[in-house]
Structure 1
C-alpha cells in the first residue's frame, strides 16, 4: 500500500584506478590482530525459492548455487494507458538472462478508480481488465489477455510471477443501510461484474462477528476474515480468489499487502489451502515482531529491520549498524531483503546497499526504477550474477567500523562462497582477512580491484576495496 513517496537523490559512483598489489607478508601478524571476526548464527545454506540454474544462452533463467533474485515489476504511479503488462512482458527475457528468478506484479484486479488505480483499492477480485466496470474495461496496467500473456512469457523464461494481494480492505461498493453502524456504508458489492465474491455489510467490520480486527486502513471498508463466507471466497472454494489466481491465472506466489490489518493466521490459512511462495508487508523495524509474524503466518516477510539498518549504515556513515539484528540473521528462509520499493525509498547510497543484500542471506529484491532507470544496470547485473553463483553458505562478519564492513559467506555443497568488502570512506582501504581457502588464488569479481592475491596456508589474505564502493572476492575459477 502506498504510504509515503520519497524522491531519490542518486549517488554517482566514480571509477578509481586500482592500487598496486603489495607484499602480503608485510606486518602480517599486526594486520591479523586488526581483523576481528564474529559469526552470525544462521542456517548453513540459502532457502529462497528458485527455478531451474543462472543466465543461459537461451535467455531462460537457470538457478545457480545461490538461487535467484526477485524483481519488483512496478513503481508507484506507473504510466496510465493500459500498457504496463506489455512493458513488463517485453523486459522478461532480459531480466531472466540477467538472473532474475521471479517478478512481483502490482494488484492485478479492477479497483475503485478503474483505469487510474494502482490497484490498492480493490473492488472485483475477478476482473483483470475484462469487464466494463468502474469506468473502464482495462485496468491501469492493461487487459486480462495482456496479463495472461505476461505470465505465460515469464513461465517460458523459467521465472515465477507473484501477485500483490490486497485483502485487508475493499473499495468501490455501493451505499447500503447498515444495521451495525446505524448509517449507510459503502459495503454493497452485490453487483460486481464478475459475479464472484459478492459482499455486503456483514462481510466488513463492524458486524455480527465483532467491531474490528487488528487494523483498518484509510477509511476503506475493513474486510472481516472471521466470517466463514469471506474465508470460503478468499481461499476455501475451488474458485476462491487464491485458487483462481493460482490455478486459472497461473500466479506462483503472493505478496500480501498491509498484513498489520489482520492476524497472521489469515496468511497461514491461505498458504495451507492455496500454496505458493508468500511474503508479507509487515512495516515494522522490530525484528522480534517480524520473526513472530513470519512464524505464525508460515510465510516470508520483508526485512524492514535490515532496511532501516542499511539506511543508517550507508547514508549516515555507520557501517557498525550492520552488526545489529535483522530478519535474515534470524531466519534467512523467511527474509525478503530490499533497498527500495513503491512505498518507501529512503536509502540514497544504493549501490553498496545492493552489494550488501546480494551477497548476504535472504531473498533479495531489485526495485524496478533502480534497475531500469536510476542505477548502473551493468553493476547490478554483476551483483546479481555474484549472488546467484557465489553467495552460498552461512555468514561470518569479519570486520566492521564506521567506514568499513567485511563479511564472508562460508560456501555450501562445494561452492566456495565469497568475501565482500564495503568501503564508505573516501580512500582505498586494505585489510587482512581469514577466508575459506588455503593457498588459493582469488580475485575481485566486481572488477573494482585488479589484485589477484593468493591466500596463505592458514587462509589469511590481504584484500582491498575502492573508496565509496565495494569489492567481492572468491576463488579465481
Structure 2
C-alpha cells in the first residue's frame, strides 16, 4: 500500500519589527503587541524584535548596550524602561504572540558594551584603524570607560562586574581626551581575537565600537553563556538574531548556540548579521559554523539597490553571487533593514518603484526565508519621515506567499527587463500562482500553469492589473503587468481570495 502523502509545510515569513527612528516613547512593545493578530492574519509567523536590553540611555536603540540582564526592569541610565518599553510590556507582547502562534526572535548584542559606570586605568597601544594588527604607538597607560558595576540592578540575576581586563579594546582615552582605536594590553588581556576567529577585514576586525568584549577571558564567556540560559527562562522565544558576528569569536558563538540547543531542545532559529558584500566570506563562515545557522543575504540587497537605480537593467542577474543562490536553506532574504535604511551608515538605496518587485522576488519564489521590514510596512519616523512603501502591496504579497506560493517552480527568465515564473501548487495547496514583473515598459508572458487549471479565470491579487486570464486547455495563459510593475495571478475563486479585498491597518502609531 502506498504511503499517504504528507502535508505540504507551510511557508514561513519573518518581520523585522522596528526601524531606526521609531519614537523613543517607551511604547513600542505595546504598539507591536496590538498589531500581532493582524500580522499573523496577513502571513507573518515570526517577529525579530529590537535589542531589549538596557542601552546607554532610554533613547538608545540597544546596540549601544549597557546591561544584558536589564530588559527594562531596573532604574539604570535614566529610566526603568528601555526605548522600547518596560519588561512588563515586553512580557505582554510575548504572551500575545504566543496566543496567536507568532514566534519572537531576540536581537542579541554580544560584541561590546557602552556607558560604563566609571573609568579604569590600563595599558594599551594605539593601532592603525585600517590595519588593527599594526601598532602605531608604544604601550602606555590610558584611562578607559570600562568599569561596569550595574548599581541599579546590583547582584540580581548576575554578580558579574566588568573591568578593564574583560575587554580587548576601546576607542577613547579619557586622560588626554583622544579618540583612537586602543588595543588593551596586560597580563590578563589576550589582545585581539585570534586570526580566523573574527573577520580578517582591516587586518583583524575584532574591534567595532565601544568597549570591546574579550571572549578569550573565561569570566566573560561564562557570564554571557549564563545570560543565554537566563534569557531563555525569562522570555518564550523562538530564536535569536546575533548582531555584528564578524567582530567576535566564532568559537564562542558556536558554544553559545550549542548550549541553548542542548538545554532547550534544538528548536530555536539562529541568524547572524555578517554584513559584507562577499559571497565567498559568507559561505566560508557558514561552513565553519558547522550547524543549522543562517545569515542575512547582504549581496542580494546590493543587487536590488544597483538594479533599481539602473534604467533597463538586466533583471535576470538579480540572484548572481547571492547567498540564496548557493545556500538557500541558510539564507534570510530581505530588501531593507535598520542599517541600510535612509540616513544610516550602510544605506543601500532602493528606488520606491522597485520595492514591490524586490519583495515579490523574495516572497514568492521557492528559496530563502524572507524578512519583511517594519519601515516598509508601517513607514519611517524621525527627521526624514517616509510613508509605507509598495503602495499597499506588501501585506498582499505576504498573504500570497502564505496561501499560494507552493510547489514546483518554472522560470520564464527569457527577457532582460521582464521576468515571469509559475508555482504549480501541491496536492494539498493546489492553487499555485503566476508572477510577471517588468523594470521597463508593460510586460507579458505566456506561461504554463497546468492543464488541471484549464478553463479557470485568473486575476491579479494585487489589483494592479485588470486582465482576466482564462487558462487554455493546454494549461497556458497570457499574463501581464504594467510598466515598472508586478502582477501576481491566482484563480479568482481560490480559497482566501476574499482576504485581499480587506485593508491592512498600517497606522501603528494611532493612539
TM range (shorter): 0.7 to 0.9
Map 1:6-405 → 2, pairs under 5 A: 65-112=9-56, 114-173=57-116, 174-179=118-123, 182-194=141-153, 195=155, 196=158, 197-205=160-168, 206=184, 208=188, 210-213=190-193, 214=198, 215-235=205-225, 240-275=226-261, 276-297=268-289, 298=291, 299-316=293-310, 317-318=312-313, 319-345=315-341, 346-348=349-351, 349-360=354-365, 361-373=367-379, 374-375=388-389, 378-393=392-407, 395-405=409-419
What is residue 453 of structure 1 aligned with on the other side?
470
Question: How far apart are 1:456 and its partner, in Å?
Answer: 4.6
1:123-174 CA distance string (max 9 Å, x none)? 1111111111112221111111111111111111110111111111111222
Cα separation, 2, equivalents of 1:410 and 1:285: 33
Aligned partners of 1:124 and 1:192 also within 8 Å: no
Aligned partners of 2:300 and 2:319 also within 8 Å: no
SS for the counterpart of 2:469 is coil
Cα separation, 1, equivalents of 2:34 and 2:19: 17
Cα separation, 1, equivalents of 2:77 and 2:408: 50
Question: How far apart are 1:398 and its partner, in Å?
Answer: 2.0
Using the size of structure 2 for normalisation, the TM-score is 0.74
Distance 1:179 1:311, change over 3 A: closer
1:302-321 CA distance string (max 9 Å, x none)? 01121111222333232132
Question: How far apart are 1:376 and its partner, in Å?
Answer: 5.1
SS for the counterpart of 2:34 is helix
What is residue 33 of structure 1 aligned with on the other side?
none
Aligned partners of 1:314 and 1:352 also within 8 Å: no
Question: How far apart are 1:255 and its partner, in Å?
Answer: 1.1
Question: How far apart are 1:465 and its partner, in Å?
Answer: 1.9
Aligned partners of 2:300 and 2:323 also within 8 Å: yes
Total equivalences in the alignment:
408
Match of 2:437 among 411, 416, 422: 422
Question: How far apart are 1:281 and its partner, in Å?
Answer: 1.0
Q: Extract unaligned runs of 5+ from structure 1.
A: 1-52, 54-63
Aligned partners of 2:436 and 2:445 also within 8 Å: no
SS for the counterpart of 1:140 is coil
What is residue 473 of structure 1 aligned with on the other side?
489
User: Which deviates further from its counterpart, 210-219 or 182-191?
Assistant: 210-219
Question: How far apart are 1:189 and its partner, in Å?
Answer: 1.4
Cα separation, 1, equivalents of 2:397 and 2:336: 16
Cα separation, 2, equivalents of 1:401 and 1:267: 44
SS for the counterpart of 2:325 is helix
SS for the counterpart of 2:305 is helix
Aligned partners of 1:371 and 1:377 also within 8 Å: no
1:75-132 CA distance string (max 9 Å, x none)? 11311221111111111111111111111111111111x2111111111111111111
Question: How far apart are 1:462 and its partner, in Å?
Answer: 2.8
What is residue 14 of structure 1 aligned with on the other side?
none
* Higher RCO structure, 1 or 2 (CA under 8 Å, sep 6+): 1
Question: How far apart are 1:223 and its partner, in Å?
Answer: 0.8
Aligned partners of 1:404 and 1:421 also within 8 Å: yes
What is residue 500 of structure 2 aligned with on the other side?
none
Cα separation, 2, equivalents of 1:324 and 1:94: 35
Aligned partners of 2:208 and 2:247 also within 8 Å: no
1:50-98 CA distance string (max 9 Å, x none)? xxx9xxxxxxxxxx85422211111113112211111111111111111
Cα separation, 1, equivalents of 2:433 and 2:115: 51
Cα separation, 1, equivalents of 2:426 and 2:253: 32
Match of 1:462 among 478, 483, 490: 478
Aligned partners of 2:303 and 2:319 also within 8 Å: no
